[in-house]
Structure 1
Amino acid sequence: MAQINVDVNGRPYAVGCEDGQEAHLQELAKIFDHQVRQVSQDMGQLGDTRLFLMGALMLADELYDAKGRLAALQVEVTRLQAERSRIEGRAVGALEAAASRIEKLAASDA
């Protein structure tokens, strides 16, 4: 297990992670640090626990919104796939009907 140091609101914290996940954890810490610093700018210094809580709640709110948008997009994709299947079915039907007419015309000319 790897251990790295991350900085949040100007303070270092030792954090353990799986080997190979160090860069990912550093990136996550940067995102969290940005949120905590934003809360600190907006509300002033509240103490680390409260700053961290507010930062975590802001990130949770963003995640909640993103999940809602993802769910709506998945519904739309499903709708569009069904629509595409319906249109493809109609196109196949039209091509089969046209082929049948062409065969009849060719047979009547022979």
Structure 2
Amino acid sequence: MAQLNIDVNGRPYAVGCEDGQEGHLLELARLFDHQVRQVSQDMGQLGDTRLFLMGALLLADELLDAKNRLAALQVEVGRLQADRSRIETRAVGALEAAAAKIEKLAAA
């Protein structure tokens, strides 16, 4: 298990992670640090616990918004796939009808 020191709001914290996940953890820490610093700028120093709680809540809000947008997009993709399937079926029917007419004309 790897051990890293990360900084959040100017304070170091020792954190463990699986080997090979160090870069990912550093990116998460950078994102959280940015959120906590933004809360601190907007609301002033609240103490680490409240700053961390507000930062976590804001990140959770962003995550929930992203999940909701993803769900809406998945519904839209499903609708578009169904539309495509109906259009393809109609196109095949039209091509088959045209082929039948051509065969009928060629036989005459």
TM-score range, shorter chain: over 0.9
Q: Number of residue pairs matched?
A: 108
Tell me the equivalent position of 2:54: 54
- SS of the equivalent of 2:84 reads helix
Equivalent residue, structure 2, for 1:17 = 17
Q: Which residue of 1 aligns with 2:82?
A: 82
Once the two structures are TM-superposed, the CA of residue 95 in structure 1 deviates from its matched residue by 0.3
Unaligned segments of structure 1, at least 5 residues: none
SS in 1 for 2:19: coil
Which sections of structure 2, spanning at least 5 residues, go unmatched? none
**Partner Cα distance (1:29, 1:41) in 2:** 18
SS in 1 for 2:13: strand
Instruction: Name the CA distance, whole Å, in 1 between partners of 2:51 and 2:72.
Output: 32
- TM-score, normalised relative to structure 2: 0.99
Distance, in Å, in 1 between the alignment partners of 2:15 and 2:78 is 41
In structure 2, give the amino acid aligned to 1:46: L
Instruction: Tell me how far 1:36 sits from its aligned partner.
Output: 0.1
Q: CA deviation at 1:40?
A: 0.1
How far apart are 1:77 and its partner, in Å? 0.2
**What is the CA–CA distance in structure 2 between the aligned matches of 1:28 and 1:96, rounded to whole Å?**
56
| Superposition pairs of residues 3-42 of structure 1, within 5 angstroms | 3-42=3-42
Q: How far 1:15 sits from its partner (Å)?
A: 0.5
